[in-house]
Structure 1
Amino acid sequence: MRVCAAAPFDTSRAVSRANAATSDARWRPHDLLRLQSLRSFDDEPAWVRDAFARAPYAVVRRALGADGFVAIGVRGAGRAQRYGTWAHQDDIVGVVSPESLLRVQPAKRRELPAFVALAALRRDACAALAGFAWGPTGSTGFELATQVPSVAEASDLDLLIRAPEPLALSVARLVFDQLQTLAQSIGIRIDAQLETPAGGVALAEWAAGKTRVLARDASGPRLIADPWAAMAYDGAA
């Protein structure tokens, strides 16, 4: 996030679970929350109120939280307009997961590369993603959830792939290669993130067979050898 509001709670009592954005498991990183109101904090950017009026949604972000509060990110019209703030659970009226957006179609005449690529992945029941729970995030997920135009001609397709169990390197490479083949055929960039017990890990890094990969959790990014090994996140739970 380019700007982030100060936590509205005593940070010494913040939840320290490695992958938590809140102490309530109903809301996970990358979920989109529909809010009945957005609480204001000091130094809030001027564009935030207009953005929330257009689409009363925010994405769950990774941050140490406290009971009753969820770390969220508000999305503006431009790439530079990203604001990290906080929602109270009483203001949440709905939640949209990335995988649930596979059932949603973009508006007519929105035949942009990101939507073309997503449609191709949904149609191919034999694709490498068929064995996973997955869905769109970023601008594609936001537009599908809100029906507010957010995707541009040059927009990437961002994907979340849930990987609660160890992912073999051979399978990761197969998924990565298939996504890259599709991306090249359409002329788009596809960026996939694995959601692991240790946090978010780029599929490209894991598929490359690196000795250590960057995992992003509520405490921040860190290099680890195995996102599924207990030692990778022990002590942060």
Structure 2
Amino acid sequence: MRVCAVAPFAPDDAAAPDDPRWQAHDILRLHRLEAFDNEPAWVRDAFARAPFVVVRRAQVAPGFVAVGVRGAARNERYGTWARCDDIEAVVKPEALPSASTLSADRRALPALVALDAMRREPPSTLATFAWGPTGSVGFELATFTPTVTSTSDLDLLIRMPNHFSRDEARWLQAALDAHAMRAGIRIDAQLETPAGGVALVEFASGKARVMARHASGPRLIADPWTCVHAQAGL
């Protein structure tokens, strides 16, 4: 996030979120967005236009969820905090509708064309996984607010609770690269692992350690699955 509000709770009260109702990249509809000091001027207009926020990775205190607000411009991103009592609905990436719910001119945008092509492919490249779009594509499908442009990337979240081999990752990355080439866009996939979010392209590259993005902060790890079990003493 380019700008982030100061947390409205004491540092000693903060911990990794443990509420199973929402996870990073989920989209929340709010009936109210609390204002904090140093809030950018565009935030109120953006929230009035689309009363939705995106869950972000950060430590929180009970009763709060860390969220991000999207503005109209690419550089308008604001990290803030919502009260759990203000949440009206939760939309997960894997539950988002297809682009057929949008107008014909919106469906023709390359990122949305690529998403629908991946969903129609028999069998789908991602058929065995729980997955869905995030970023501008996910936001538009959840809110029906025009967000995708002709140059937008297609960002994907793939739930990966169980071990995923490097060979499988390389195969999946190659399949996504082929879709990206046909659509003339970039497709970025993130694996949601027990250790946090890991870029598929990084894991598939064969690096000894990869960056896992977690609410407590990013960290380099060798295996996004076994390291969590080791820390838990399992």
User: Residue 64 of structure 2 corresponds to which residue in structure 1?
Assistant: 69
Mapped contact 1:23–1:66 kept (Cα < 8 A): no
Q: Aligned partner of 1:228: which letter?
A: W
CA change 1:232–1:107 in 2 (3 A) is: farther
Give the secondary structure class of the aligned counterpart of 2:96: helix
Residue 102 of structure 1 deviates from its aligned partner by 4.1
Q: Aligned partner of 2:102: which letter?
A: P
Give, in whole Å, the separation in 1 of the partners of 2:119 and 2:158: 14
Determine whether 1:107 maps to 2:103: yes
Q: Aligned partner of 1:108: which letter?
A: A
Determine whether 1:215 maps to 2:218: no
TM score, norm. by length of structure 1: 0.94
User: Residue 15 of structure 2 corresponds to which residue in structure 1?
Assistant: 15
Higher relative contact order (CA 8 A, sep 6+): 1
Mapped contact 1:198–1:232 kept (Cα < 8 A): no
Give, in whole Å, the separation in 1 of the partners of 2:172 and 2:228: 26
Q: Aligned partner of 2:103: which letter?
A: A
Q: Aligned partner of 1:7: which letter?
A: A
Give, in whole Å, the separation in 1 of the partners of 2:195 and 2:224: 5
Q: Which of 163, 169, 192 is matched with 1:195 structurally?
A: 192
Give, in whole Å, the separation in 2 of the partners of 1:128 and 1:121: 7
Give, in whole Å, the separation in 1 of the partners of 2:196 and 2:32: 29
Give, in whole Å, the separation in 2 of the partners of 1:103 and 1:156: 17
Mapped contact 1:58–1:75 kept (Cα < 8 A): yes
Mapped contact 1:197–1:233 kept (Cα < 8 A): no
User: Residue 178 of structure 2 corresponds to which residue in structure 1?
Assistant: 181
Give, in whole Å, the separation in 2 of the partners of 1:57 and 1:125: 33
CA change 1:86–1:209 in 2 (3 A) is: same
User: Residue 130 of structure 1 corresponds to which residue in structure 2?
Assistant: 127
Q: Which of 151, 154, 163 is matched with 1:154 structurally?
A: 151
Indicate the larger mover: 166-175 or 97-106. Answer: 97-106
Indicate the larger mover: 223-232 or 139-148. Answer: 223-232
Q: Which of 25, 32, 37 is matched with 2:20 structurally?
A: 25
Q: Which of 70, 73, 94 is matched with 2:89 structurally?
A: 94
Give, in whole Å, the separation in 2 of the partners of 1:197 and 1:23: 13
Residue 231 of structure 1 deviates from its aligned partner by 4.6
Unaligned 5+ segments in structure 1 are 17-21
Question: Percent identity at matched positions?
Answer: 61
Give, in whole Å, the separation in 2 of the partners of 1:233 and 1:198: 11
Mapped contact 1:2–1:80 kept (Cα < 8 A): yes
Mapped contact 1:52–1:74 kept (Cα < 8 A): yes
The RMSD of aligned alpha carbons is 1.4
Give, in whole Å, the separation in 2 of the partners of 1:13 and 1:125: 49
CA change 1:230–1:190 in 2 (3 A) is: same
Question: 4+ runs of 1 displaced by more than 6 Å?
Answer: none
User: Residue 202 of structure 2 corresponds to which residue in structure 1?
Assistant: 205
Q: Aligned partner of 1:212: which letter?
A: R
Residue 12 of structure 1 deviates from its aligned partner by 0.8
Give the secondary structure class of the aligned counterpart of 1:26: coil
Determine whether 1:35 maps to 2:5: no
Give, in whole Å, the separation in 1 of the partners of 2:73 and 2:94: 25
Residue 184 of structure 1 deviates from its aligned partner by 0.5
Give the secondary structure class of the aligned counterpart of 1:126: coil
Mapped contact 1:158–1:191 kept (Cα < 8 A): yes
Unaligned 5+ segments in structure 2 are none
Mapped contact 1:114–1:157 kept (Cα < 8 A): yes
